[in-house]
Amino acid sequence: MAKKKITIQGMHCSSCASNIEKSLKKVPGVKEANVSLMTQKGIIECDEKVSEEDLKKAVARAGYKAISVE
């Protein structure tokens, strides 16, 4: 299991955060996704094999931009 932190741009309401969470959880290998509107960050628990690109794409699919993944 790996922990990843994504910085997300463009969120401005709680539905945004919950949309991104939903989209991230659909990525295969993602166990847990917590997106915080307050910190503009998402913390993801996932398998090691989940790539940064997959996560970024998931954020983009919900209509937002992932600035960085750590």
Looking at 23, 52, 55, 69, which residue binds another protein (CB under 8 A)?
23
Provide CB contacts within 8 A for 22, sequence distance 6+: 62
CB 24 within 8 A of CB 33: yes
Residues 23 and 68: their CA atoms lie apart, in Å, by 17
Residues 11 and 40: their CA atoms lie apart, in Å, by 7
Q: According to CB under 8 A, which residues from 24 to 63 bind another protein?
A: 34-43, 61-63
CB of 62 to another protein, least distance (A): 5
Asked if 66 touches another protein (CB under 8 A), the answer is no
What residues line the site for another protein (CB under 8 A)? 1-3, 5, 7, 9-10, 12-19, 22-23, 34-43, 61-63, 67-68, 70
